[in-house]
Amino acid sequence: MKRISSKTAKDMMTNQKVVILDVRTPSEFIQRHVPKAINIPLGDFSPKISDIIPDKDAIYLVYCESGIRSITAAKQMDQLGYANVYEFGGLNNWPYDIER
């Protein structure tokens, strides 16, 4: 797991094939989220994540609201053998496009 800035995350979204994971609750996700993000709440993470996203070599960009849940999720993914996990904090610090 690597921590990156919002700018680095945005650059990766623009220039690479990435999977953007929003680990907030479904109600938070519905209100607003990063474009093209998929919602996998942190509470669903540990037992099911390998079934939900089986590709352990893909590039994953993980975020939440403030960066606390995303760090937990990224560490769990790291422990499960996901090779390319990048945590970029939360929407509170995201200066780019938001879908509502």
Instruction: For 25-79, write each residue's pLDDT tens digit.
Output: 999 999 999 999 999 999 888 767 888 899 999 999 999 999 999 999 999 999 9
pLDDT for position 86: 98
Report yes or no: 62 and 87 within 8 Å, Cβ to Cβ. yes
Token reading at 21: 């994971």
pLDDT tens for 2-12 read 999 999 999 99
Say whether 53 sits in a helix, a strand or coil. Answer: coil
CB 1 within 8 A of CB 90: no
β strands within the chain, DSSP E? 2-3, 19-22, 38-39, 59-64, 84-90
**pLDDT value at position 33?**
98
Architecture per CATH, 2-93 = 3-Layer(aba) Sandwich (3.40)
Predicted TM-score (pTM) of the model is 0.95
**Cβ(24)–Cβ(70) under 8 Å?**
no
Please tell me the predicted confidence (pLDDT) of residue 40. 95
Q: Is the pLDDT assigned to residue 20 strictly greater than 90?
A: yes
